[in-house]
Every structure is written in structure tokens, then in C-alpha cells.
């Protein structure tokens, strides 16, 4: 899934943040910038002041500190905003912060009813992990830069304030957005008990079951904005937006659905909402964009749909922005109706499913820090550029996160192994060539070649660990009979001699034969050749072997958490400083590794979202069967149940006797429910 910046640059900007509903609204006040002749409307509890070479700074927290927003009116318009963000400003950031800057490249971002160019820069200042989101608004009256600076993982309040700042920016003398707002028409939805606003001159239509539509043009056609106050609150809003509604769009439009972008967050109306953008072919063949967002509210969740053609984008998103900004309920949400219970009804013996990983905690052993699932164990081996670790769930050791900065040696062929063994035997069997004779063979300089050799690596380490020549074999992932079911080119930088730089989705068995799955990457390198009695005796080296694994069928639930844990790994400054005493090369390698881990996380996330869902379904089917479950779904709510095999046969014959008669067996026509986690377990 290549997502536009409506997702806030996906995991890179808001990794780990869960935000539902709107921030508390404060009255707006006007802030004038005499130095550059523009005005802003900002929340009354924020402070704005001019700072030379920075612009008009709007404090989000304590004035003078991060987080804050800076607005700068450029003296000349940019000829190429994309080049400015991707190259010119990136180079400025790298020079300022000693090249220790991660960058998410320029894309487009909808905010404040406008579409801006934007990019992210990640860096460290005074020991703090910071993010600078830079947005550029191109205007005939002078391009404007908006700088949002905030701590890593704490974007929500800064971006909500930025939404207000962008919306109300005006050069002095121009009509302000606040003045325009006074001329908006009030919209009253008596059927669902709320009000909002819309630009003067537009019309609305109420349709039972579909909600209220505000027509941006001729009634009955795009563009329009639809508002629906949900009759019941969503039990899992994120799952509804990401999975349930997407499945609905796929079922509705079939092959006519040509594009899906799932947004981590969508900022509009000064609020951060869950959402997605869909592109589908209308009856005339025209491409229609549909932005679907959900606002989670205590007084009743609200869904908005904005539909438009490409050239209607900005006007329609501004209409959506106004509708979201001014939405206000006029009556309490109706309590969910409860069906009458009959005394003879049976209760389902169903218990709510618990998440596999409830939460993560910060782990730090003085050398490195990272997020780990609570209760997991970790083993580390070696130091500096040969460092490696494996973390695992003691409840099921096939749930792992692992990293090996370097693995070696790997012989290139069985012929090389036989030659080393012959030479060693000829010298008495315990010569300097014995270690090479016993080394594992990697038959190709590829990810598959490495994965196939792992049982040999385990045996090799088991033999030599006690002598201090290898790592503890216990740190190695237990993998045999590995199959790469999908392979995606990795965006990680790799040496020119790297044989294959890919991310693989794999299935494998542990050493007890348990079936598992995972997402892994590595960089096998062929540095040179060496003629050793007629064979190439120079070994392969593998860099950055890392990944996440789980029992078969669990990766759909665990992928996001485990890859975030892997991406959070970073060596501590004190440990990097110690490397100075070893070599400059060691130090530079450790510094580069910190940047690589976040890039690895992003690359794995991209590979995961680009995967074939058919494999998810196949893996989940196998897991359900192995665990002895039938998969059921509630046709009324869409909730998923895992029931002991045999329960459904009896239930189906007597469903009228149960308090919930809506359960159906998942079949070939409803396979999308294999893509959802279980909500309940039923025992016979």
C-alpha cells in the first residue's frame, strides 16, 4: 500500500499513536504578523510571536519549546516545490544535523481544506527524537511554508493546530476565512439530531439509511458530501475503516474499484479522523474519488463521505472540512435497541478474544533500547558490528523479533566444503582449516540460500560456541523447510556486491515441526573470490539479517506491533561512543545502523501492505483447522467467532433456540472474514 500523505506519511509520522475523536476545541483569536504582512487565526490558548529567520511561531505547548508551528511567507515563489522539499531542504537539514536525518519524500497532504506539498524529516536534537513536517502552499500572493516540529510519536496536537493555522492563513487585506465562515449557511438534520454548516447557495437531501447529503453542484451528482450519524457506536473503529468498509467497497464495485489508500490519520476540520480514499469507475466510466472518514465521539460516531472528480478535489475537500468542523449534535444519541429475550433462549458460551500482545514496554540494557511486548524475553550475543539479538514470547517461542548485524562464514558450495575437509584431514584433522571445513554452505548468494542454510548454522554454532568461536545457537531463529511465498525488492541501501536485497514473506517449520510464518530480510554479500585448490574458497558474508515471526495464522494480527518493535531498535549514544575506542569504522557502522532500522521498518511495512491477501486466507484456514476451530461470522454485526469443531452443526439445527441466531459458517463466498481477527471464542 503506497499511501499519500493524508496518512501523515504512514508509520513514519505517527507510528504508535492511536487517536480517536477531536481535540478539545478552543475559541479562535487573530494573530497578525506585521513583519511579513499576514494574519492567522489560532486557538485562544496558544501563543504566537515573530522570530527572525523562523517566521511566525505558534506555540502548541510551552512557548519557546517543541512542539510548535512556524509560518514563513517566502520572498519569492518556488519554481519546483517537490525539488525544494526532496533535495534543497533535505540538504539543509543534513548539514545542520551532521547527516543524521531520516527523510520521507515529498507527497501531497490535505489539511485545512487545502492540498499542500509536504515532507517529513526525522532527526535528534539534545538527545530527543524529533520530527519536522514541512508543508508548502503555493499561492499567487506568495508561497507559504508551514513548519510543524514535534517529538517523535506525538504528532496529534501539533497537526490539529496546524490544520487551523493553514485554514485561516490570509495575507493582510484579503478576506479572512473567519469572515467567510460568518456567511456559511446552517444545516439542520432533524432526522438524526445534529447541525453543521455549508457554503451559501448549496442544497441538501436527506435519504433514509444513507444520511444527509450536501450537494457541491447539481443535486444527485458528484461532487457531494454525505454525513451519517451512526445508530450504534463502533466496537473497533480502526478495524471498521481499514477492513470492513474496504471489503464493502470491494463487494459493491468489484473490478470498478481501481484504487485504495488506507490513511493512518486524516486531518480535516481541525480534527484527526480515521479514514481511507477509494477510486472507482462510475457508470459513465469517469474516475470518482471517495474520501471516507470516521469521527469517534462519545455522543455518537459520525461517518463522512466526500465524492468528487479530480478537478473538483479542492472544492469538495473544503466542503468536507466545513462539515466536519461545524458538526454539533442537538440531541443525545439513541440507545441501542435490545431485542426482547425469551426465557427459553440459550446463551452462547462465548468469551471475548484477547489480543496476542496487549502492550509494549521500553527495554534498555545500556547498549541499546527498543520497544518489546510486555513479558517477552531477550537474548543478545557479540558486540558492535557483530551484535545480534532475538526476543521471543515465552508462551510461544515462535513469536519472535530478531536482528543479526553480521553472520559469517558461509561456504559458497559443497565442493568448497569437501576440499576444506580433504585438506584438513590431510593435515591430521585438527588444522587451521577445520573451522572452514565445518562451516555451513550457502548454495546461492540470495535470501533463500541463507534461509536454507540456517539448520547448518545452528549445528555449526552448537559445535563451536563453548570454545568461544561462535554465537550461542539459542539466539538463532529456529527455521527449517523455509519457503518464500512472496518476495518484494527492499528499499534499504545495500553494497554493490549484495547478491539479493529483498524482503520475503515466508512459511517454515520450527525444529519440532510446528508451522510458522514470518517477514524477513537480509543482505548476502559476495565480497571476492579465492582459488583454493580449484574451488572458490572465499566465504559469503550476510549483513542485516532481521525479521519477525509467528505461528501460522497470527502474523496478520502481530505484524504491525512486531515490525514497530524492530524499527524502534537503536544503540545508545554511550555505547556508540565506546566504539570510538575500537575503530572509526565500527562507530560509523553503528551510527548508520540506527538510521537503517527505521528504514527497515518502513520497507517491511510497505512489503506487508503489498502482499497477496490470498496467502493470509490460506494461512488462517490452516491455523483454524490445526487449532480445531470453525470460523463463524455474525451476519448482523460482522463480528468473527472461532467455535470448537462440531458446535456449528448442533447450533445450525437449533439456532432458533439461541439468543443470537445470526451466526453463519465462513465459506468461499465470505472468505474476507479470514482477514479479520477473532472477536469471540465459543466452546461446546
DSSP string covering 568-625: T-EE-HHHHHHHTTT-HHHHHHHHHHHHHHHHHHHHHHHHHHTS-HHHHHHHHHHHHH
What pLDDT sits at residue 458? 94
Q: Strand, helix or coil at 176?
A: coil
Q: In what order do the strands lie in the sheet with 515-525?
A: 377-381, 388-393, 396-410, 540-551, 515-525, 502-509, 480-489
Q: How far is CA 22 from the centre of its chain?
A: 21
List CB contacts of 277: < 8 A, sequence separation 6 or more: 4, 6, 259, 260, 261, 263, 289, 290, 291, 292
What pLDDT sits at residue 586? 58
Q: What are phi and psi of 261, to 5 degrees?
A: -125, 110
| Element holding 544 (H helix, E strand) | strand 540-551
| Superfamily designation of domain 5-178 | Mog1/PsbP, alpha/beta/alpha sandwich (3.40.1000.10)
Q: How far is CA 65 from the centre of its chain?
A: 28
What pLDDT sits at residue 293? 94
The cell for 188 is 439542520
- Whole-number Å distance between alpha carbons of 86 and 213: 39
For 403-412, letters b (16+ CB in 10 Å) and e give bbbbbebbbb
User: Grid cell 593435515 — which residue?
Assistant: 427
- Whole-number Å distance between alpha carbons of 51 and 486: 52
- Whole-number Å distance between alpha carbons of 489 and 504: 9
What pLDDT sits at residue 52? 81
Give the burial class of 234: count Cβ atoms within 10 A of its Cβ; 0-12 exposed, 13-18 middle, 19 or more buried: middle
Q: Quick check: do 5-178 and 183-329 share a fold? A: yes
What pLDDT sits at residue 638? 85
Mean pLDDT per 10-residue run, the chain (684 residues)? 27 28 55 88 87 88 87 88 88 84 84 87 84 91 92 84 90 57 81 91 85 88 91 86 90 88 79 88 83 91 93 88 90 54 67 90 92 95 90 94 94 94 91 92 96 95 91 94 92 87 93 92 92 92 94 91 91 75 58 68 80 86 89 89 90 84 88 87 85
Domain locations in the chain as residue ranges: 5-178, 183-329, 379-559+604-609, 616-682
What pLDDT sits at residue 343? 43
What pLDDT sits at residue 15? 29
User: Could you name the CATH architecture of 183-329?
Assistant: 3-Layer(aba) Sandwich (3.40)
What pLDDT sits at residue 113? 80
What pLDDT sits at residue 393? 93
**Residue among 598, 512, 511, 508 nearest 550 (CA):** 508
Amino acid at each position: 500500500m503506497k499511501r499519500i500523505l493524508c496518512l501523515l506519511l504512514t508509520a513514519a509520522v505517527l507510528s504508535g499513536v492511536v487517536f480517536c475523536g477531536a481535540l478539545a476545541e478552543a475559541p479562535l483569536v487573530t494573530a497578525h504578523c506585521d513583519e511579513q504582512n499576514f494574519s492567522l487565526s489560532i486557538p485562544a490558548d496558544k501563543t504566537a510571536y515573530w522570530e527572525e529567520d523562523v517566521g511566525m511561531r505558534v506555540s502548541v505547548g510551552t512557548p519557546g519549546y517543541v512542539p510548535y508551528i512556524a509560518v514563513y511567507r517566502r520572498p519569492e515563489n518556488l519554481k519546483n516545490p517537490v525539488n525544494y522539499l526532496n533535495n534543497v531542504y533535505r540538504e539543509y537539514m543534513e548539514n545542520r544535523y551532521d547527516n543524521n536525518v531520516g527523510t520521507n519524500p515529498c507527497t501531497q497532504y490535505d489539511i485545512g481544506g487545502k492540498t499542500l506539498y509536504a515532507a517529513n524529516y526525522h532527526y535528534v536534537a539534545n538527545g530527543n527524537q524529533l520530527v519536522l513536517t514541512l508543508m508548502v502552499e503555493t499561492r499567487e500572493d506568495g508561497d507559504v511554508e508551514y513548519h510543524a516540529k514535534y517529538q517523535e510519536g506525538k504528532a496529534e496536537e501539533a497537526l490539529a493546530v496546524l490544520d487551523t493555522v493553514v485554514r485561516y492563513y490570509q495575507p493582510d487585506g484579503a478576506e479572512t476565512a473567519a469572515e467567510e465562515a460568518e456567511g456559511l449557511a446552517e444545516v439542520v438534520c432533524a432526522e438524526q439530531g445534529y447541525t453543521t454548516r455549508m457554503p451559501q447557495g448549496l442544497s441538501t437531501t436527506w435519504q433514509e439509511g444513507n444520511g444527509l447529503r450536501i450537494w457541491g453542484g447539481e443535486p444527485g451528482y458528484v461532487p457531494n458530501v454525505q454525513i451519517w450519524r451512526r445508530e450504534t457506536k463502533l466496537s473497533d473503529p480502526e478495524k471498521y475503516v481499514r477492513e470492513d468498509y474496504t471489503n464493502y467497497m470491494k463487494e459493491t464495485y468489484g473490478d470498478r474499484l481501481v484504487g485504495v489508500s488506507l490513511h493512518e490519520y486524516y486531518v480535516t476540520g481541525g480534527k484527526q479522523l480515521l479514514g481511507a480514499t477509494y477510486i472507482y469507475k462510475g457508470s459513465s466510466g469517469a474516475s470518482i474519488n471517495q474520501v471516507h472518514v470516521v469521527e469517534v465521539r462519545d455522543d455518537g460516531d459520525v461517518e463522512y463521505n466526500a465524492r468528487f472528480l479530480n478537478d473538483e478535489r479542492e472544492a469538495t475537500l473544503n466542503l468536507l472540512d466545513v462539515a466536519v468542523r461545524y458538526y454539533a449534535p442537538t440531541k443525545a444519541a439513541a440507545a441501542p435497541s435490545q431485542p426482547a429475550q425469551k426465557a427459553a433462549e440459550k446463551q452462547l458460551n462465548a468469551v471475548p478474544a484477547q489480543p496476542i500482545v496487549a502492550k509494549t514496554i521500553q527495554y534498555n540494557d545500556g547498549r541499546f533500547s527498543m520497544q518489546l511486548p510486555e513479558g517477552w524475553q531477550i537474548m543478545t550475543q557479540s558486540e558492535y558490528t557483530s551484535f545480534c539479538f532475538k526476543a521471543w514470547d515465552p508462551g510461544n517461542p515462535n513469536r519472535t523479533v530478531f536482528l543479526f548485524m553480521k553472520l559469517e562464514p558461509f561456504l559458497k558450495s559443497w565442493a568448497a566444503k569437501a576440499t576444506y575437509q580433504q585438506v584438513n584431514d590431510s593435515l591430521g584433522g585438527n588444522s587451521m582449516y577445520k573451522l572452514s571445513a565445518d562451516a555451513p554452505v550457502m548454495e546461492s548468494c540470495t535470501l533463500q540460500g541463507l534461509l536454507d542454510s540456517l539448520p547448518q548454522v545452528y549445528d555449526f554454532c552448537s559445535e563451536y560456541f563453548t570454545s568461544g568461536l561462535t554465537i550461542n545457537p539459542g539466539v538463532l531463529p529456529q527455521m527449517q523447510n523455509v519457503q518464500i511465498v512472496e518476495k518484494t525488492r527492499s528499499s534499504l541501501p545495500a553494497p554493490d556486491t549484495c547478491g539479493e536485497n529483498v524482503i520475503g514473506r515466508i512459511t517454515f517449520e520450527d525444529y519440532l515441526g510446528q508451522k510458522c510464518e514470518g517477514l524477513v530480510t537480509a543482505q548476502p554479500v559476495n565480497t571476492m573470490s579465492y582459488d583454493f585448490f580449484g574451488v572458490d574458497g572465499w566465504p559469503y558474508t550476510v549483513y542485516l539479517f532481521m525479521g519477525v515471526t509467528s505461528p501460522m495464522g497470527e502474523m496478520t494480527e502481530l505484524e504491525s506491533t512486531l515490525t514497530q518493535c524492530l524499527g524502534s531498535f537503536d544503540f545508545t549514544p554511550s555505547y556508540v561512543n565506546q566504539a570510538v575506542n575500537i575503530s572509526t569504522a565500527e562507530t560509523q557502522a553503528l551510527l548508520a545502523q540506527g538510521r537503517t532500522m527505521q528504514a527497515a521498518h518502513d520497507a517491511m511495512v510497505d512489503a506487508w501492505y503489498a502482499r497477496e491477501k490470498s496467502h493470509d486466507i490460506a494461512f488462517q484456514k490452516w491455523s483454524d483447522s490445526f487449532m480445531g476451530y470453525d470460523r463463524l461470522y455474525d451476519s448482523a454485526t460482522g463480528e468473527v467467532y472461532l467455535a470448537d469443531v462440531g458446535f456449528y452443526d448442533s447450533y445450525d439445527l437449533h439456532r432458533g433456540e439461541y439468543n443470537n441466531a445470526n451466526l453463519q459458517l465462513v465459506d468461499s463466498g465470505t472468505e474476507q472474514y479470514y482477514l479479520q481477527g477473532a472477536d469471540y471464542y465459543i466452546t461446546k
